[in-house]
Amino acid sequence: MNIRYKSAHYFTLSHPLLGSGLRNYLRLLMVNRFRIDPRFSLKFIFSFATVLFWTPLRLIESALLYRKINRTKVLAPIIILGHPRSGTTYVHYLLAADPNLAYSNTYQVFMPRIFYFFGKYIGKMMDPMMPKKRAMDNLSMGAFKPTMDEFALANLSDASWCNGFYFPKNIGRYFYKYVSFSDGGYSERERYKRSHLWFAKKMQLRHPGKRLIIKSAATSSRIKELLEIFPDARFMHIYRNPYETYRSTERLYEKILPLFGFHKVSNQFMEQYIIDSYRDFHLKWFAEKHLIPKDRLVEFSFEDFTSEPLTHLTNAYEALKIDLTKGAINAFKEVASNHSAYQQNKYTDIPVEIKRKVREHWEFCFNNWGYPI
């Protein structure tokens, strides 16, 4: 692993917490004991000033929508499951092309408290300033592209895995409190559930009559909680060769921690976190997977899905009893065709010591999914 901090990272002004509520932002600072590296001061000052700037709009939208959001019922959503870097984004992009489904886009998850009335204007302002490709895998991105809900949860409360991106020295705290919940109690679980349900209700209010697509790289470790929030949800789970997932996850953190983090962490620290969190993530997944009714879960490997995405999606819709229209099929074909020219990152051999740790701690995943160890 090779996390490199460049001088440009100290002057990056765009940050996912720009849309946080003031109370939530202050809470994050206090919980993390104001551990801001002085070199990232400009990033911190700009994000805090922006949070203050948006406060009047948040108050207006909250006052106008409070009762409507509370009264809204979420239709049976489709929840995409899978560890980070397992192919969940590709599944998300394909499903988002279905005109009968609704997805959260970048400006909505970055500005969850003001997107309903002001989102289109914010999106038009954000889009030209955003990179056209994601730093970790070169997939297309933009203000109107599908983006995981987890960023919205970080702007609503501290009950989000993404807060570990911003305060990486405490990334383990966020994982074990709000993803696996092994270090969290009733209050942590309820805080997460309230945040996720509130955002889903607001998205449903914005898209009446459509199923929501819910995607977060933390969801596979929250099955019990997700079923309590969305008891009639449908699930699609994608998994990938653990060796490939390890290398791709390394790249994820190499790219986003310098961009989003308010302080630095060492390569060794993150390598151990990846090993431990992946293991505990999947221990909880395999322990709770049986809670999902069999007719509401489909699973496929990354390798199979990327080779025949249309076949797997068609089979998934049929298994989950979701209506598949001709318009959706044509939209899937277009996205798959555009993706065919996409070049996946190539990963060199894993260092011997890391490979030993992967085999030792992740062996049960190799065995469950049939990958050679």
Tell me, what's the pLDDT at 126? 76
Q: Which two tokens stand for residue 143?
A: 């203000």
Tell me, what's the pLDDT at 11? 79
Tell whether the torsion through CA atoms of 32, 37, 38 and 39 is positive or negative.
Answer: negative
Tell me, what's the pLDDT at 130? 67
Give the distance, in angstroms, between the CA of residue 308 and the centroid of all CA atoms in the same chain.
24
Tell me, what's the pLDDT at 341? 54
Residue from 180, 34, 206 nearest 115 by CA: 206
Determine phi and psi for 118, rounding to 5 degrees: -115, 0
| DSSP at 300 | E
Q: Which two tokens stand for residue 354?
A: 């890391």
Kindly give the confidence (pLDDT) of every residue in the chain, 373 residues in length, as a single tens digit, with 9 standing for 90 and above.
889 888 888 877 778 998 999 999 999 999 999 989 999 999 899 999 999 999 999 999 999 999 999 999 999 999 999 999 899 999 999 999 999 999 999 999 999 999 999 888 888 887 766 666 665 556 667 778 899 999 999 999 999 999 999 999 999 999 999 999 998 788 999 999 999 999 999 999 999 999 999 998 788 999 999 999 999 999 999 999 999 999 999 999 999 999 999 999 999 999 999 999 999 999 999 999 999 999 999 999 999 999 999 999 999 999 999 999 999 999 999 888 877 655 555 555 778 888 899 999 999 999 999 999 8
Distance CA 332, CA 290 (A): 30
Tell me, what's the pLDDT at 351? 82
Tell me, what's the pLDDT at 373? 86
Tell me, what's the pLDDT at 344? 58
Tell me, what's the pLDDT at 20? 93
The 3-state DSSP class for residue 218 equals coil
Residue from 154, 165, 342, 324 nearest 254 by CA: 165
- Stated as kind and residue range, the H or E segment containing 75 is none
Query: β-strand 211-215 against 78-81: which pairing, if any?
Result: parallel
Tell me, what's the pLDDT at 193? 95
Residue from 167, 235, 239, 156 nearest 197 by CA: 156
Tell me, what's the pLDDT at 361? 95
Distance CA 200, CA 112 (A): 10
Distance CA 265, CA 258 (A): 10
3-state secondary structure 251-294: HHHHHHHHHHCCCCCCHHHHHHHHHHHHHHHHHHHHHHHHHCCH
Q: Which two tokens stand for residue 123?
A: 């999106």
